[in-house]
Structure 1
Amino acid sequence: MASAPQQSLPLFYNQLEPLSSQVHADFRTRSTDRAAFLANQHAVPVTVEEFPLVQRFMPIVFSVGEDPVPLALMGLNEGVNTFFDAEGKLVDPNFYVPAYIRRYPFLLARLRPESDELSLCFDPTSDVIGKFEEGEALFENGEPSEITKNILQFNEQFETAGARTSQFMRELKDMNLLIDGEVSIQPDGAAQPFIYRGFMMVDENKLNEMRGDQLRKIVQNGMLPLIYAHLFSLAQMRELFARQMRAGWQPEVQLVG
């Protein structure tokens, strides 16, 4: 999931700059209780390691396209986030914040396309890193501080999880288990149901009809619990719809683009 600074930037990132002990010797990082970049974001990528926690709060679906990725839905329509307010502050503290959100503004990226080496970078437009009087120092005596080492370790773990997620998605595609998703929700008093499309999901019928050797494979490689976490999470669609209605959002018939 790493991206080179000169290539198209990942979701949320406006710029990428390599973290340097020379250039950023006096930089600090400070904590915040809000993430403004989430205010109008309805979906965020998640890794397979997160499925068991994510499925308790959000539906897990897959994006449409040649290379689908798992997405946790925070809203059923573009621009709708039912878990974070207009300032990017959590509405309910009882919530699992996906790692993709928690790693911002940092990111491991390839500085040169021809190299496999990843460097720790950050988004310089973020307001949580800079020359502040408060916060934790990123460098001490020209060396990475403990907080920087922890940030690097977290990003390395995220990259490893991203590689496992990519493998999981390849397996789903190879086994032809993904289908175009559709969810119909009929609220009380509505003349017609609201139909949400524009995402992919696992075909439960195909899963139940798998040959014994295929089923044994996904049991042995740990895919089966992840698939069921995804399928169970789809029940959260109706809860998400209800959250939108309670917040005053008018439902529309579209989902992940």
Structure 2
Amino acid sequence: MASAPKPNLPVLYNELVPLNSTEHATWKGRTTDKAPWVANQHAIPLTVEEFPLAQRDYPIVFSSGDRPVPLALMGLNEGVNVFFNDEGVPHGTPYIPAYIRRYPFLLAKLQQDTDNLSLCFDPTANLVGEFDEGNALFDENKEPSEHTKGLLQFCEKFEEAGNKTQLFMKELEDADLLMDGEISIQRRDNPDQPFTYRGFRMVNQEKLRELRGDQLRKWNENGLLPLIFAHLFSLELMRTVFAKQVDMGKGPIAGEMAPPAAN
């Protein structure tokens, strides 16, 4: 089973600190071409807006549980990522999900009785601090810098995409289209003992074919139907990911795949 993040914190995040001009007036944010925090992650949350690009590289599945979310599979076993090396450098030029590009920042509620969101960061990433180099987070008047404004805008767009993703998932659940997924993959050197992976959800193609014409027309017009097909077409890439694991000596590992629940 996948290990869970700390209570109330999304995948990747270990701590959250609100960014403020009192404590962080002279702090800077570093840019990096490495993402070591992703190296051991086999599943990363996706927004529906990313499906067209992500489906070219990753199998897109849905997490199990009461609140399923879309996930880009970067490996079929926990702790295995075939798209990033151990230092967090990507192999080739795969699409980098917005969830990874947003880290270590995110918008979070500081008080549960309000809908106001504050820009926060994970201090354990070592990308925000009192560094000599980097982009200033505040100007001389302790106002957010252009860099910080850009970070805030990116996080706001991510939240908007997240809301659209929740609506997409509600449509799938209301139509009872999600089913428990299962895939069996044979190793070339041992075809008699296939490895079976479960622990994820996928769209039930039989129920999709049974949908009424008016429902399909609605989904085609609002762009939902192409997203469903992007998900379905991407599932074949699970075999590609499996082959990469074998070639890299990172699997398969006996057991079942269980993508982590994501906030």
TM over 0.5: yes
Q: Is the 8 A contact 1:62 1:71 kept in 2?
A: yes
2:214 and 2:90 map into 1 onto residues whose CA distance is 45
Whole-angstrom distance in 1 between the partners of 2:81 and 2:7: 28
Where do 4+ consecutive residues of structure 1 move more than 2 Å?
A: none
How much does 1:7 deviate?
6.2
Match of 1:242 in 2: 243
Secondary structure of 2:71's counterpart equals strand
Moved more, 7-16 or 197-206: 7-16
Distance 2:96 2:151 in 1: 16
Are positions 1:58 and 2:58 aligned together?
A: yes
Query: 2:19 & 2:255 partners in 1: Cα distance?
Result: 43
Whole-angstrom CA distance in 1 between matches of 2:71 and 2:85? 20
Q: For 2:258, give the aligned amino acid.
A: V
Residues 60-100 of structure 1: CA deviation (Å, up to 9, x unaligned): 000011110000000000110001111222122x1111000
Which structure 1 residue ranges, 5 or more long, are not aligned? 1-5
Counterpart for residue 79 of structure 2? 79
Aligned to 1:3: none
Alpha-carbon offset, residue 19 of structure 1: 0.7
TM-score norm. by structure 1 comes to 0.95
CA contact (8 A) 1:43 1:256 kept: no
Aligned residues between the structures = 251
The letter for the 1-side match of 2:121 is F
**3-state DSSP of counterpart to 1:107:** strand
SS of corresponding position for 1:143: coil
Which residue pairs with 1:34 in the alignment? 34
Q: For residue 138 of structure 2, what is the aligned residue in structure 1?
A: 139
Aligned-partner Cα distance in 2 for 1:154–1:68: 24
Structure 2 counterparts to residues 93-112 of structure 1, below 5 A: 94-112=93-111
Residue 222 of structure 1 aligns with which residue?
223
Matched, 1:123 2:125: no
- Report what 2:187 is aligned to: 187
Letter in 1 for 2:196: I
Same amino acid, percent of matched pairs? 59
**What is the RMSD computed on CA atoms of the aligned residues?**
1.3
On the 8 A contact 1:197/1:253 being kept in 2, the answer is no
In structure 2, distance between residues paired with 1:56 and 1:36: 23
| Matched AA of 2:82 | T
